[in-house]
Amino acid sequence: MEPLDDLVGLARNLGRAEHDLVILAEGNCSARDGDALWVKASGAQMAGAGPEDFVQLSLDSVLSALDDAPIDDRAHLDAARRDPRSPRASTEAFMHAWLLTLPGVWFVGHTHPPNLLAILSTDLGRQIAARRLFPDEVVFCGAASCWVPYTMPGLPLALAIREAVRALSEQTQTIPTTIWLQNHGLIALGASPNEVLNASLMAEKAARVWRMAHRLGEMRPLTKREIDQIQDWPDEHFRRRKAGEDT
Ligand SMILES: [Zn+2]
């Protein structure tokens, strides 16, 4: 399958009403395609999206803004389009482009799941991002989520994400699977559309569990040792790979 076909499928899955990850035109997703990326067009809805709702951009052209901020972000993204007749790209194309350069990342999904957003809007968000409650959260969402303090969307957010991911990667020697944006939402990274979908669904389930457990009593997150054991357990790697394969 072409990356665009996979991406359309991912958008529709992320947008499915029963998943409750986004409503209206919230969220966006992207895929790497050689030296280009496909990203959702500005204002398009993920539920029911078609190929016409995506824009192909030159990766290098978009990325040049991160080191040499353009005067006009919108004009920069418009100029990066492979086909000038295509719709305008989401303003989050800057962060998608950078995340798609990370090793093993071919698809990126950004959503606003309500239970996770509740956590991201409290003073506990940062602390919870570093914790895990149950094994499948570790398997599908990684040992910890990367925390990004609230930042205006567009280029400023892309720069804040780059700084936070680099800091976490230096510390852990790994690329995060999930990124939490304070007062904003979730980003999931994957080698396949299903890995992005699985991480997004599990992150929202984990947020529901946190909220329920928090009401019941003293929290008991997994210890570092327990998280390491889950990550080193071959069965869990197999399950994650299997669930991430395209069906
Ligand atoms: Zn958003």
| Alpha-carbon gap, residue 155 to 42, rounded angstroms | 15
Å from CA of 240 to ligand 1 middle:
26
Could you read off the pLDDT of 132-156 as tens digits, one per residue? 999 999 999 999 999 999 999 999 9
Structure tokens at 40: 């959702």
Is residue 217 over pLDDT 90?
A: no
Tell me the pTM.
Answer: 0.93
Q: Which residue has the higher pLDDT, 77 or 220?
A: 77
| Alpha-carbon gap, residue 180 to 186, rounded angstroms | 5
Could you read off the pLDDT of 78-129 as tens digits, one per residue? 999 999 999 999 999 999 999 999 999 999 999 999 999 999 999 999 999 9
Buried b (16+ CB within 10 A) or exposed e, 104-120: ebbbbbbbbbebbbebb
Å from CA of 25 to ligand 1 middle:
10
Å from CA of 131 to ligand 1 middle:
23
pLDDT category of residue 247 using cuts at 50, 70 and 90: very low
Å from CA of 71 to ligand 1 middle:
23
Å from CA of 123 to ligand 1 middle:
20
Å from CA of 113 to ligand 1 middle:
10
Return the pLDDT at 228: 87
Q: Comparing C-alpha atoms, which of 3, 1, 5, 96 is closest to residue 42?
A: 96
Question: Average of pLDDT values for 195-219?
Answer: 92
Å from CA of 23 to ligand 1 middle:
11
Could you read off the pLDDT of 153-181 as tens digits, one per residue? 999 999 999 999 999 999 989 999 999 99
Å from CA of 111 to ligand 1 middle:
6
Going edge to edge, which strands form the sheet with 36-40? 54-58, 36-40, 28-33, 107-111, 185-190, 178-181, 146-148
Å from CA of 244 to ligand 1 middle:
24
Residues 6+ apart with CB under 8 A from 190: 105, 106, 107, 108, 109, 177, 196, 198, 199, 244
Return the pLDDT at 231: 83
Is residue 207 over pLDDT 60?
A: yes
Query: Residue ranges per domain, the chain?
Result: 3-244
Å from CA of 26 to ligand 1 middle:
6
Is residue 192 over pLDDT 70?
A: yes
Candidates 1.10.40.30, 3.40.225.10, 3.40.50.300, 3.30.365.10; CATH matching 3-244: 3.40.225.10
Cβ–Cβ under 8 Å, residues 64 and 152 = no
User: Which of 148-157, 182-191, 195-204, 208-217 is least confident?
Assistant: 208-217
Return the pLDDT at 246: 57
Please give the mean pLDDT across all residues of the chain. 93
Place of tokens 């869990």: 236
Å from CA of 91 to ligand 1 middle:
10
Cβ–Cβ under 8 Å, residues 66 and 159 = yes
